Amino acid sequence: MAVPGLRYPGSAANGRRLACDKPELVSREVTRRSQNLQGNHACALGAVAAGCRFYAGYPITPSSEVAERMSLELPRVDGVFIQMEDEIASMGAVLGASIGGVKAMTATSGPGFSLKQENLGYAAAAEIPCVVINVMRGGPSTGLPTRPAQGDVMQARWGTHGDHPVVVLAPASVAEIYSETIRAFELSESLRVPVVVLYDEVIGHLVETVTLPEAGTVKSVERKWAEGARAGFRPYAQAPDGVPVMARPGDGYRTHTTGLTHGEDGFPTQDPEEVARFMERLLGKLDKNRNLVDAYESVACDDAEVLVVAMGITARAAKRAVKLARSRGVRAGLLRPITLWPFPEAALTSLLEHVGAVVVPEMNAGQLCLEVERICRRDVPVRRLNRVDGEPVSPESSAEVLQEQVGHG
């Protein structure tokens, strides 16, 4: 069924212009500052506020509401929405739009995220800004399409082959989905890196009250555009922050975009010294900009004797578990990564100086726990609390494990 307010392409040429002539046909509720929003709808509004003007995607549960809302909101701002033939094409279209100078996004869930991995690797290698929303569901394979899970933690970081940079953000509320989607575009544009916004089905379909900023007050972060002489332009030249400038299409700069390992001129190379310089800069730019990337929340950690590390909806249950445990005499605290990758290792390391045990609840078989165990290095015992049955981890079960860790059970 056609969506009011959208034109549908009859040819590839027509497909270049899909925006609506009549914005009055599209949702007006975005103008209200305080709204009851579903998480996936908040994601779409955050993307538009951040300056996203291109969306290509394929419907997949439980992320489809992101696409539905983008199909309504983008025409209002002269943007482009395309429902593609599959997940692979969706990711390719996003990269093409971004190379063309437009902020671009797609949304998916586990099976579709798997199909996007090759193009995500291309984005990392060619340093093409893009944002991917992954609303997690149960797996593997088709799995549990309508049930929550957190099984894509490691895939979000290591899903594509080779050493590569990627930023993964893990919001835990509807309001945070809105703000972290905006931050995803800020990081992607400023660092020229793919950014994944990773949250589970519960938060994606949760409805909460969100107070939106005044229209036009969200700062739009732009990528660094090339300026100056066209002759001798090197599209991947070294920069102090590790992030090269991008050439704006039509400005006369000669560029070459490839997934092959390349030198500063953008052309493929197998010279060991050039390859080493390329990889060092590519992987090092996140380390050089950790002040922009890092984000986490700590709750009641100052005197904690046992620490919970959790993300997403599980962290919300863990926050309640910390309160329950403290009411029972257990000094518990919570560390919640908001930026999941790169993991906030320094924050966890600092807390390990005074905690006697760590508990990691999660809706998978222990993926987040692997990173926590790596950092703890057997100096502090780590207890896993896993659910893989399509149900969230409860506050009570987490509180019981916290009591057990300090002998109060």
89-141: pLDDT as tens digits = 999 999 999 999 999 999 999 999 999 999 999 999 999 999 999 999 999 99
297-407 in CATH: which number?
3.40.50.920
Asked if residue 207 lies in contact with residue 65, where contact means CB atoms within 8 angstroms, the answer is no
Q: CA angle 371-376-378, nearest 5°?
A: 120
Give mean pLDDT, residues 5-11: 41
Q: pLDDT category, 31, cuts 50, 70, 90?
A: low
For the chain, the 3-state helix, strand and coil shares in percent, each to the nearest 5, are 40, 20, 45
Asked if residue 67 lies in contact with residue 41, where contact means CB atoms within 8 angstroms, the answer is no
Percentage of residues in the chain having pLDDT higher than 90 = 88
For residue 96, with 0-12 CB atoms within 10 Å meaning exposed, 13-18 middle and 19 or more buried, which class applies? middle
* 27 phi, psi to nearest 5 deg: -50, 135
370 Cβ contact list (under 8 Å, min separation 6): 154
The token pair at 73 is: 């909101």
For residue 303, with 0-12 CB atoms within 10 Å meaning exposed, 13-18 middle and 19 or more buried, which class applies? exposed
Per-residue model confidence (pLDDT) at position 19: 34
* 132 phi, psi to nearest 5 deg: -120, 125
Per-residue model confidence (pLDDT) at position 21: 37
- Count of residues in the chain: 409
Listed in order, the ranges of the chain carrying CATH 3.40.50.970 are 34-211
Lowest mean pLDDT among 22-26, 67-71, 162-166: 22-26
272 Cβ contact list (under 8 Å, min separation 6): none
Residue 308: strand pairing partners? 334, 359
- Of 80, 81, 141, 84, nearest to 109 by C-alpha is 141
- Biggest CA–CA distance in the chain, Å, is 72
Q: How far apart are the first and last CA of the chain?
A: 57
Task: Look at 48 and 29; give whichever has higher pLDDT.
Answer: 48
SS3 253: coil
Per-residue model confidence (pLDDT) at position 8: 40
- Average per-residue pLDDT for the chain: 92
Is the per-residue pLDDT at 9 higher than 60? no
Asked if residue 115 lies in contact with residue 155, where contact means CB atoms within 8 angstroms, the answer is no
Residue 199: strand pairing partners? 135
Runs of H (alpha helix) within 170-300? 174-191, 201-205, 272-288, 290-293
CATH 3.40.50.970 fits 34-211, yes or no: yes
Sign of CA dihedral 318, 321, 325, 327: positive
Is the per-residue pLDDT at 259 higher than 90? yes
Per-residue model confidence (pLDDT) at position 14: 41
Runs of H (alpha helix) within 37-145? 39-49, 64-73, 87-99, 110-115, 117-126
Where is 14: in which H helix or E strand? none
Per-residue model confidence (pLDDT) at position 30: 52
pLDDT tens for 369-400 read: 999 999 998 889 999 999 999 999 999 999 99
Q: How far is CA 183 from the centre of its chain?
A: 9
The one-letter code for the residue type at 366 is G
Angle between helices 39-49 and 174-191 (to 10 degrees): 40
**If you search the block for the tokens 């509320």, which residue do you land on?**
173
For residue 167, with 0-12 CB atoms within 10 Å meaning exposed, 13-18 middle and 19 or more buried, which class applies? buried
Give mean pLDDT, residues 340-358: 97
Is the per-residue pLDDT at 332 higher than 80? yes
pLDDT tens for 280-328 read: 999 999 999 999 999 999 999 999 999 999 999 999 999 999 999 999 9
235-245 core/surface letters (b: 16 or more CB in 10 A; e: else): bbeeeeebbbb
Per-residue model confidence (pLDDT) at position 246: 96
Listed in order, the ranges of the chain carrying CATH 3.40.50.920 are 297-407
SS3 193: coil
Where is 317: in which H helix or E strand? helix 312-327
